[in-house]
Chain A
Amino acid sequence: MARMKFLCDADRCIECNACVTACKNEHEVPWGINRRRVVTINDGKPGERSISMACMHCTDAPCAAVCPVNCFYTTADAVVLHSKDLCIGCGYCFYACPFGAPQYPKVGNFGSRGKMDKCTYCAGGPEADGSKEEYEKYGANRLAEGKLPLCAEMCSTKSLLAGDGEIIAQIYKERVTKRGYGSGAWGWKTAYRESIES
């Protein structure tokens, strides 16, 4: 069974934000909710690098561990999903998440949190695959169609890789070998407790 992961090759990321708008487009994500974002480190200085970041679908996901209502689940593909029916919008997953992935629509009074929203790895939610309910709550379910997340598929420089962890690690390692240096597989140590820097 595949173990789905994301890998952003920082040597390739040019902060074009295609991943961000592809995500918005595919799932009709509303203004203010950023399931994926690109963060630039050392902006404007030599050494500047940008990283596209969303939910990394961690191994032993912290969000799932701290959720007071246990609304997270991990699919057979190791994608970390949650049920918006169960979520109470407490914000705990945001405190625990190493990557700032959980997003909360501002609903109700005093801008308090609504149901949490995050990257689904284009894998929908608990509803039936491809159902209207699933789309409205979580967006498209590309994985069920045998497609990978659109952010990675549309990445301008093939910096953002998605797919089975072993395969994308292999692709990345080949790149590292060819160019002679690594770019760090940002987040892998934190998310998957492994490093593929050669």
Chain B
Amino acid sequence: MLIKRTHQRSDRRGTVAESLAGQGGGLDRRSFLRKSGLAGGALAALGTMPVGSVRKAEAAAAGPLTAGATIKKSICTHCAVGCTVTAEVLNGVWIGQEPSWDSPINRGSHCAKGAAVRELVHSDRRLRYPMKLVNGQWTRVSWDTAVNEIGDKLLQIREKSGSDSVYWLGSAKMTNEGAYLFRKFGAFWGTNNTDHQARICHSTTVTGVANTWGYGAMTNSINDMRNSKTMLFIGSNAAEAHPVSMQHLLESKELNKANFIVFDPRLTRTAAHATEYVRIRPGTDIPVLYGMMWHILKNGWEDKEFIASRVYGFDDLRKEVEKWNPQEVERVTGVPGEQLERVAKMFATVKPATIIWCMGQTQHTVGTANVRASCIALLMTGNIGRSGGGANILRGHDNVQGATDVGLDIVTLPFYYGLAEGAWKHWSRVWEVDYDYLVSRFDEKKQMETPGIPLTRWFDAALLPKADVAQKDNVKAVFVQGHASNSITRIPESLKGLKALDLLVIADPHPTTWASLSVEAGRKDGVYILPVATQFECTGSRVASNRSMQWGEQIVKPIFESKDDLEIIYLMAKKFGFADKMFKNIKVENNLPVAEDVLREINRGSWSTGYCGQSPERIKAHMKNQNKFDLVTMRAPKDDPEVGGDYYGLPWPCWGSPEVKHPGSPLLYNNNLHVMDGGGAFRPRFGIEREEKLADGTTRKVSLLADKSFSKGSDIEDGYPEFTLASLKKLGWDSELTEAEMATIKRVNAANPDAVSWALDLSGGIQRVALKHGCVPFGNGKARMNAFGLPDPIPVHREPIYTPRVDLVEKYPTLPDAKQFRLPNIGFSVQKAAVEKGIAKQFPLILSSGRLVEYEGGGEETRTNPWLAELQQDMFIEISVADAADRGIKDGGWVWVSGAENNSRARMKALVTERVGKGVAWMPFHFGGWLGGADLRKNYPAGTDPIVLGESANTITSYGYDPATGMQEPKVTLCQIVAA
């Protein structure tokens, strides 16, 4: 009686089992699971789908539930690996998630977050309607009221304090279209104070890497690491931050017997799978890398041919490396020379070798220099521009690469055109709006061409004396759409900033710590909350870490009263009266701009970065044909009618117009391939030659173009500068331009058409002709070991602002105080004062921070998800066994952590572990909703408080900004811990 199995069912099951068994032993896991998945699909087609959950039950009034369910594909919003999410939708309800077998990136897999995204949409703790703070109470308002009141107030602030006094903080979670419109909106509003998460995650990568070889992005792909023989992780905990990437990395480790080397202050979950673990002192990446290079140079393991033909500034670098002998490296980093020599040998000789990094390198006052040192190590060993090598920079949010590319940034217009007049004119042509109109929107033309304020310092811009802020007035209002406040360091200072603002607008699916902290700061009014849809309720494209663009379908319509990012941007533009101009070439349906039209506009203007070939049609075809792409090369067979020869997601640069059918560039700077097969070269972005001063006082000119190295099949078999109409003429290739293309070029610069370059030519003709000749449109230059123009052209070790090694500060001080990004950076003074005051004695432990696999970013949405929240219910700090014993701290006991600034303190649980070394403590950065031991749950609008609250790591973090990008310093500060 208990044995249910009906005959029919057993037979059916048997069929599946037999079909599986019939595959024999040669079946790999992927095809095995895939086949079973397909079998499932086939059975589903027979109408044997199950009845479902309560929610499923709600979705279908009667009858078999999933019968008739549709499958929608979107992209997981929790990191930049780019996992496809496959959703089953019935009657507008998202009833289930299925593995996305076809995606070459995740092959069905997810991490804890990806496997739980369905709950984000259905969460009953989401914001339901707009609210404003009235006498300290959250009060419901209508969308119309909210938009009107916010708009009026902003216009009033603009009138009084200028357009730069409003800070527009966007998000890496927006689609390309959302982020692009947000930046465009900033331009129409008249400010460069438009920023997003990349500032605090990989701004230093973007700056450091782009200054080395042209573009600030991951050069290879996660899939390509399947070709690696040596993987060097410095500042990446992929197992927790990018779990699905580990599928490829661990298989590489297994199949290639690859060296899996992890440098980290913590023995992370990634390090647990390493073949060699190197424990370093936080903040000493440069000395460690130089220590490796010292061995490489000493033993002659460098790639001399590569350096000679493709690298600039090697001799300058050698001088710096020579300072880092094993004794000095061990003194500074704690890593013994013997181990470093072993690792250096593996890295330089067991090739291809790749360096994988993440925020462990970037989130430092020396972040830009850190990533530069990593690039230099790759250049020295010839590990860049080749399969299995490269700088595999794992980005943090689903679209942080895209949002950066589309220019949601303070230093540039979309696609790295910069802020110079030429850049503004380019975009005014793309937008078909008068350049003069754009100028008129700014406080003054100078501000238009000056980088804005980094988000890390919005509160400094609100609090510092007006004279110290290089714009008309302080920041008076913050409009934040999709960014956590607890991700930003120095929370005690930001609390004062929240109090000082005239207006705060929080647009997000969740109230976030902006809401709870603004109430805590004492605000009674002047705060609005707007409910935004999650990306699963929106349509649009996103760019994964490997530069592949993927199209996300709308899974369900926005829940409650929440609105799509694009709609909110449109409503605000309409309120300010520039919607017609801003959306001139974009169709708007019921206040919602059409994502495809936005992407087409992006295509028309993004020649510099190669988003020009990624039409919505091509990207959608890729999503439809995911199963056609190879796991390792990510390329579809050439004969496929829809996506033939393309690389998955057309990883940028995807040159030319969509009609050129460029397949995308899976590996940057790879000159082993024809440019039409995704090949490339280093970008000569910093001139074609440089005058160097010699020791005897004379000068010489050194070429910055590649020397006898070129991409496969190039008609020019040497280095060459970027293409312009003039250079085409010189080569005699200008005749290949069509009349229409020529006409467009003349329209771009009527006065001097010869000056029109590959990046400004709106016709794409110059690119097309260059490609035809096998040439890279941007030229063929050398990568720079010496990145002249940066604060430290050759990376220099500098001790963190708050360092326990005060003995090293004199020799390795941070850079002098200076004015950067409209604000003073007084890091040097702070460091000096800390040494003088003996802060390191008072706060003897290094405090670092990082990710947990269950949560993301500021964590509000993941801490609201019960499936995730259950797994991490308490904020904690990792402390070494020795340090805990000294302090009488027990595992799981409560402790007070106090920081070096603002008398900051936070209460949390201790996790006593050998994971961290003596003298180092570590916190996850996702918690929020507590402050100084107090629970702020009451500050959230009723029913929207996340399930799990806790102290924010950034309550304790302290001063420190990278001079090149304004990156904050959450990875090294000092603290003291006592049992509570």
User: Are A and B genuine complex partners?
Assistant: yes
Residues of A within 8 A of B (CB): 1-2, 11-12, 14-22, 24-28, 31-32, 43-50, 70-77, 83, 86, 124, 126-127, 129-132, 134-136, 140-148, 150, 152-158, 161, 163-164, 166-167, 170-171, 174-175, 178-180
- How far apart are the CA atoms of A161 and B246 in the complex, in Å? 16
Report yes or no: A16 in contact with B853, Cβ–Cβ below 8 A: yes
Instruction: Say if the beta carbon of B239 comes within 8 Å of chain A.
Output: yes
Chain B window 246-268, contacts with chain A (Cβ cutoff 8 Å), 1 for yes, 0 for no: 11001001110100000000010
- How far apart are the CA atoms of A20 and B115 in the complex, in Å? 9
- How far apart are the CA atoms of A75 and B108 in the complex, in Å? 27
Report yes or no: B27 in contact with A167, Cβ–Cβ below 8 A: yes
- How far apart are the CA atoms of A83 and B3 in the complex, in Å? 10
Instruction: Say if the beta carbon of B298 comes within 8 Å of chain A.
Output: no
Which B residues are in CB contact (< 8 Å) with A24?
116, 866-867, 870
Instruction: Say if the beta carbon of B42 comes within 8 Å of chain A.
Output: yes
Which A residues are in CB contact (< 8 Å) with B40?
142, 145-147
Quick one: which of B20, B111, B267 contacts A46, CB cutoff 8 A?
B267
- How far apart are the CA atoms of A25 and B116 in the complex, in Å? 6
Report yes or no: B21 in contact with A154, Cβ–Cβ below 8 A: no
Minimal Cβ-Cβ distance residue in A for B880? A44
Report yes or no: A146 in contact with B267, Cβ–Cβ below 8 A: no
Report yes or no: B109 in contact with A2, Cβ–Cβ below 8 A: no
Report yes or no: B110 in contact with A156, Cβ–Cβ below 8 A: yes
| Min CB gap B972→A, angstroms | 20
Which A residues are in CB contact (< 8 Å) with B21?
2, 164, 166-167
Residues of B within 8 A of A (CB): 2-6, 9-10, 12-17, 20-21, 23, 25, 27-30, 32-33, 36-37, 39-40, 42-44, 48-57, 64, 96-97, 99, 107-116, 118-119, 239-240, 243-244, 246-247, 250, 253-255, 257, 267, 269-270, 272-273, 277, 853-854, 866-868, 870-871, 878, 913-916
Minimal Cβ-Cβ distance residue in B for A29? B867
Report yes or no: A157 in contact with B247, Cβ–Cβ below 8 A: yes
| Min CB gap B853→A, angstroms | 5
- How far apart are the CA atoms of A158 and B119 in the complex, in Å? 23
| Min CB gap B876→A, angstroms | 13
Q: A156-B243, A179-B254 are in contact. Are A148 and B50 (CB under 8 A)?
A: no
Q: A77-B17, A171-B27 are in contact. Are A129 and B9 (CB under 8 A)?
A: yes
| Min CB gap B808→A, angstroms | 28
Report yes or no: B277 in contact with A46, Cβ–Cβ below 8 A: yes
Report yes or no: A2 in contact with B13, Cβ–Cβ below 8 A: yes
Q: Can you list 7 contacts pairing A with B, beta carbon distance less than 8 Å?
A: A2-B20, A14-B246, A15-B239, A19-B115, A70-B2, A148-B33, A164-B21
Report yes or no: B10 in contact with A76, Cβ–Cβ below 8 A: yes
Report yes or no: A148 in contact with B36, Cβ–Cβ below 8 A: yes
- How far apart are the CA atoms of A55 and B870 in the complex, in Å? 20
- How far apart are the CA atoms of A66 and B769 in the complex, in Å? 78
Which A residues are in CB contact (< 8 Å) with B267?
44-46, 48
Which A residues are in CB contact (< 8 Å) with B107?
158
Which A residues are in CB contact (< 8 Å) with B3?
73-75
Report yes or no: B20 in contact with A164, Cβ–Cβ below 8 A: yes
- How far apart are the CA atoms of A49 and B274 in the complex, in Å? 12
Report yes or no: A17 in contact with B111, Cβ–Cβ below 8 A: yes
| Min CB gap A107→B, angstroms | 18
| Min CB gap B125→A, angstroms | 13
Q: A17-B853, A20-B112, A22-B110 are in contact. Are A180 and B257 (CB under 8 A)?
A: yes
Which B residues are in CB contact (< 8 Å) with A49?
272
Report yes or no: A140 in contact with B5, Cβ–Cβ below 8 A: no
- How far apart are the CA atoms of A136 and B48 in the complex, in Å? 18
Which A residues are in CB contact (< 8 Å) with B853?
14-17
Report yes or no: B110 in contact with A154, Cβ–Cβ below 8 A: yes
Which B residues are in CB contact (< 8 Å) with A148?
33, 36
Which B residues are in CB contact (< 8 Å) with A174?
25, 28
Report yes or no: B16 in contact with A146, Cβ–Cβ below 8 A: yes
Q: Which of B3, B55, B112, B119 is the most central at the interface, judged by chain A CB atoms within 10 Å of its CB? A: B112
Give me the 10 closest cross-chain CB pairs, A-B, nearest first. A130-B50, A44-B915, A2-B17, A17-B112, A147-B40, A16-B243, A44-B913, A21-B116, A14-B239, A22-B115
Report yes or no: A12 in contact with B13, Cβ–Cβ below 8 A: no
Q: A25-B116, A135-B56 are in contact. Are A158 and B49 (CB under 8 A)?
A: no
Q: Which of A32, A45, A180 is the most central at the interface, judged by chain B CB atoms within 10 Å of its CB? A: A45
Report yes or no: B240 in contact with A16, Cβ–Cβ below 8 A: yes
Given A129-B48, A166-B21, output 10 extra A-B contacts at Cβ < 8 Å: A16-B246, A20-B112, A21-B867, A25-B115, A26-B96, A132-B52, A135-B50, A140-B53, A144-B48, A167-B27
Quick one: which of B32, B51, B53, B109 contacts A163, CB cutoff 8 A?
B32
Quick one: which of A21, A71, A77 contacts B115, CB cutoff 8 A?
A21
- How far apart are the CA atoms of A108 and B472 in the complex, in Å? 66
Q: A28-B53, A45-B914 are in contact. Are A144 and B17 (CB under 8 A)?
A: no
Quick one: which of B17, B37, B255 contacts A147, CB cutoff 8 A?
B37
| Min CB gap B814→A, angstroms | 32
| Min CB gap A73→B, angstroms | 4
Which B residues are in CB contact (< 8 Å) with A171?
27-29, 32
Report yes or no: B247 in contact with A18, Cβ–Cβ below 8 A: no
| Min CB gap B53→A, angstroms | 5
Which B residues are in CB contact (< 8 Å) with A141?
50
Quick one: which of A2, A26, A43, A152 contacts B915, CB cutoff 8 A?
A43
Q: A16-B240, A135-B56 are in contact. Are A130 and B255 (CB under 8 A)?
A: no
- How far apart are the CA atoms of A84 and B817 in the complex, in Å? 70
| Min CB gap A184→B, angstroms | 15
| Min CB gap B272→A, angstroms | 4
Report yes or no: B111 in contact with A18, Cβ–Cβ below 8 A: yes
Minimal Cβ-Cβ distance residue in B for A26? B96
